[in-house]
Structure formats: structure tokens, C-alpha cells
């Protein structure tokens, strides 16, 4: 494997000159520049990242820790983040935490050892030891989608309040009064924020504030299906159901179809989080779409700002309502 030493020898210049040319750090004469480049090309020279990292104390690598890349929100975010990172010369290390603090810590340990320059983190819950350690080492970190209590870091995520507002308006416009709400865990900032916005906004939108219509799962399909069944078992018969995230809506839909048939008994379904296939679902699902790509790009840009020593401003990305209500 050709090293920079080989390149320098072949080009007939000193090691320093070769380095300066190849890393473009300082002025070099056109002649030596040309010869070094030629030699590098001939030898198929590729800079040794780890050696460079050791010397420069930076790796040009960012870490991305999500709960589960299979979640379309995260895969879309990861795609955008990777593109943006690579456009700026950064590689992306990926890890899945699977909503498990131990796995998250394991991944963070690996990231720390690999000496990533910065971290994009979708928090699983409260701060873990490894996260504290990274914080202590002043590794630049930005938060995705969820906040961490007691930790003040730049945040890039969905504007939950605005999104819920869109749903409330839509429900009102459609004339719904008895609306079931299947929420998520209050321990997650997303779950808490959406619940607060929805519950608080019902009255002003002509929606019943009956507690029997409200239940919560754990942001998984199964948990949400169970919550939906609990609501139906209370004997209430909503005309619309609002699922607080994508998986929750799917679970609610499954329960509705099981109980009320393939058309969900005419109940309208609206979701926070949109999946492409909602257009083809039966019944079709209206949804608030959060812009995962914009969040990913914004987060990387914020992280890069941090790396430059500037400060990053949190961003709440607005959502968009995709109205798929059947109209006669």
C-alpha cells in the first residue's frame, strides 16, 4: 500500500512537500505540486485516514445514533444526513439503540473510541453514563426529534404543536366532535408535547373533552392497538381517531379493522406522521407529515456549525397536512 513517503520519493520531493500538496495546507510551487499529484495518481495513493486522524486530532466522521433505522422517519433522516455530511467531507457511523439504554451506551462507547467529531443523537430517555462522558469531553452533539431532560443541546425536530394544530383544524373542518386520541408515552418529549397540544386544543375546536376517548400506548403498533381496543371497550363510538405517531396510527387502524370491519366502520383516521402508503390504506388516512429530510439536513448543518466553533440554533421544522379524506 503506497504511503505518502512513497509518493514523495517517486515525485523526488521531501515528505513535507508531498504532505502539503496532498492536504492542500500550504503554498507549494506549481512544479512540485504537479509532480506530487502525478506520483500519487500513478501509485493509487489514498491517504490513510487513521494516521491523519491521529495527527490532526479529528476524524472527519460523525456518529448517528437512532432508535431504529427501520423506522421510516429515521431512515429518511439518515439518508438526508448522510448526503449532507458527505457533501461536507464527513463519513457517517450508524448505530441503532433499539430503545435500549445498554445498546445506546454500547454504541456511544464505540463512537467515543472511534473519536467521531460530532454526534447526531436521537435520545432514548434520560442521559446515560456514556452520554455524560461524551458531554464531559465536549464532543459536539445535536439532538434529533426528542429532548433530554436537564440537558441543553441544540435540537432539531418536528414542530409538534404546529402539527397538532393542523390536525385540530382538520377535525373541526370535518365536523368531528367525538374524536378518540391514541397517544404515546408521556416520558418522551414527543408524546408529552403532542398530548398537551391536542388535549389543550380540543375545546377551542369543538371536540369533546371526554376522558373515555383518550388512551395511550407506547408508540408501537401493538401497544397502540391495545389502547384503541380499550377505548372501544368503554362503549364510546368515535367518528374519528387521531394516532399520535405513525406506528400508533397503524395499531389503531388494525384494531379498528378488527372490530369494525375492513372500512373501520366509517371512522376517519388521522395521524401524526405520514407514511406514503396511507394513500392506499383502507380507510385512507389523513396525516401530518414531518419533514425528516429537513431535520436531518438541519441537524448536520447545526453540528457542522458547532464543529466550526460557532453556535447552532435549534430548529422546529413545520409539518404539512396531507388530506386524504373521502369527499362526496
Partner DNA sequence: CTGTTAGCGCATTCAA
Partner DNA sequence: TTGAATGCGCTAACAG
Residue 277 binding target from a copy of itself, DNA, none, CB below 5 to 8 Å by type: a copy of itself
Nearer CB in complex with a copy of itself: 63/157: 63
> What is the distance, to the nearest Å, from the Cα of residue 51 to the centroid of all Cα atoms in its chain?
32
Residue 250 as a binder of a copy of itself (CB under 8 A): the answer is yes
List of residues 6+ apart from 97 with CB closer than 8 A:
65, 66, 67, 68, 103, 104, 107, 122, 124
| Half-sphere exposure of residue 255: CA atoms within 13 angstroms, side-chain side | 25
Residue 247 binding target from a copy of itself, DNA, none, CB below 5 to 8 Å by type: none
The minimum distance between CB 98 and a copy of itself, in angstroms, equals 8
- 241 neighbors 266 (Cβ within 8 angstroms): no
List of residues 6+ apart from 70 with CB closer than 8 A:
none
Looking at the DSSP bridge assignments, the partners of residue 243 are 182, 271
Nearer CB in complex with a copy of itself: 15/262: 262
* CA 185 to each of CA 43, 131, 192: distance values in angstroms, whole numbers, following the listed order: 57, 22, 7
For a copy of itself, the binding residue among 25, 137, 152, 211 (CB under 8 A) is 137
Residue 237 binding target from DNA, a copy of itself, none, CB below 5 to 8 Å by type: none
Nearer CB in complex with DNA: 8/303: 8
For a copy of itself, the binding residue among 6, 37, 72, 294 (CB under 8 A) is 72
Instruction: State the Cα–Cα distance between residues 305 and 133, nearest whole angstrom.
Output: 22
Residue 3 as a binder of a copy of itself (CB under 8 A): the answer is no
All three cell numbers of 301: 448543518
For a copy of itself, the binding residue among 48, 126, 203, 236 (CB under 8 A) is 48
> What binding mask, one character per residue, do residues 182-221 give for a copy of itself by CB under 8 A, x or -?
----------------------------------------
Residue 236 as a binder of a copy of itself (CB under 8 A): the answer is no
The minimum distance between CB 182 and a copy of itself, in angstroms, equals 16
* Cα angle for residues 321, 188, 121 (degrees, 5° grid): 90
| Half-sphere exposure of residue 274: CA atoms within 13 angstroms, side-chain side | 21
All three cell numbers of 300: 448536520
The minimum distance between CB 78 and a copy of itself, in angstroms, equals 5
Q: Which residues contact DNA by CB under 7 A?
A: 1, 3-5, 12-17, 19-20, 22-23, 25-29, 31-33, 45, 47-48, 51-52, 54-57
Residue 253 binding target from a copy of itself, DNA, none, CB below 5 to 8 Å by type: a copy of itself
Amino acid at each position: 500500500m503506497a504511503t505518502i513517503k512513497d509518493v514523495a520519493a517517486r515525485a523526488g520531493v521531501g515528505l513535507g512537500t508531498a504532505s502539503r500538496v496532498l492536504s492542500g495546507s500550504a503554498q507549494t510551487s506549481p512544479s512540485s505540486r504537479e509532480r506530487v499529484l502525478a506520483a500519487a495518481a500513478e501509485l493509487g495513493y489514498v491517504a490513510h485516514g487513521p494516521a491523519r486522524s491521529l495527527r490532526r486530532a479529528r476524524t472527519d466522521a460523525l456518529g448517528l445514533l437512532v432508535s431504529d433505522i427501520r423506522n421510516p422517519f429515521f431512515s429518511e433522516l439518515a439518508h438526508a444526513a448522510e448526503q449532507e455530511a458527505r457533501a461536507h467531507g464527513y463519513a457517517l457511523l450508524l448505530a441503532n439503540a433499539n430503545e435500549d439504554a445498554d445498546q445506546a451506551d454500547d454504541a456511544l462507547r464505540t463512537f467515543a473510541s472511534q473519536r467521531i467529531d460530532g454526534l447526531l443523537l436521537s435520545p432514548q430517555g434520560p442521559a446515560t453514563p456514556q452520554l455524560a462522558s461524551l458531554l464531559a469531553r465536549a464532543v459536539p452533539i445535536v439532538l434529533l426529534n426528542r429532548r433530554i431532560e436537564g440537558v441543553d443541546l441544540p435540537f432539531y425536530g418536528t414542530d409538534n404543536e404546529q402539527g397538532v394544530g393542523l390536525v385540530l383544524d382538520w377535525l373541526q373542518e370535518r365536523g368531528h366532535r367525538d374524536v378518540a386520541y391514541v397517544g404515546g408515552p408521556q416520558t418522551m418529549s414527543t408524546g408529552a408535547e403532542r398530548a398537551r397540544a391536542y388535549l389543550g386544543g380540543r375545546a377551542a375546536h369543538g371536540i369533546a373533552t371526554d376522558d373515555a376517548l383518550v388512551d395511550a400506548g407506547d408508540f408501537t403498533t401493538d401497544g397502540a392497538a391495545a389502547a384503541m381496543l380499550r377505548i372501544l371497550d368503554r362503549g364510546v363510538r368515535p367518528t374519528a381517531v387521531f394516532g399520535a405517531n405513525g406506528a400508533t396510527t397503524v395499531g389503531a387502524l388494525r384494531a379498528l379493522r378488527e372490530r369494525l370491519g375492513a372500512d373501520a366502520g366509517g371512522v376517519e383516521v388521522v395521524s401524526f406522521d405520514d407514511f406514503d402508503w396511507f394513500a392506499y390504506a383502507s380507510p385512507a388516512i389523513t396525516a401530518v407529515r414531518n419533514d425528516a429530510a429537513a431535520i436531518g439536513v438541519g441537524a448536520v448543518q447545526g453540528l457542522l456549525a458547532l464543529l466550526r466553533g460557532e453556535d447552532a440554533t435549534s430548529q422546529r421544522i413545520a409539518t404539512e397536512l396531507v388530506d386524504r379524506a373521502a369527499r362526496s
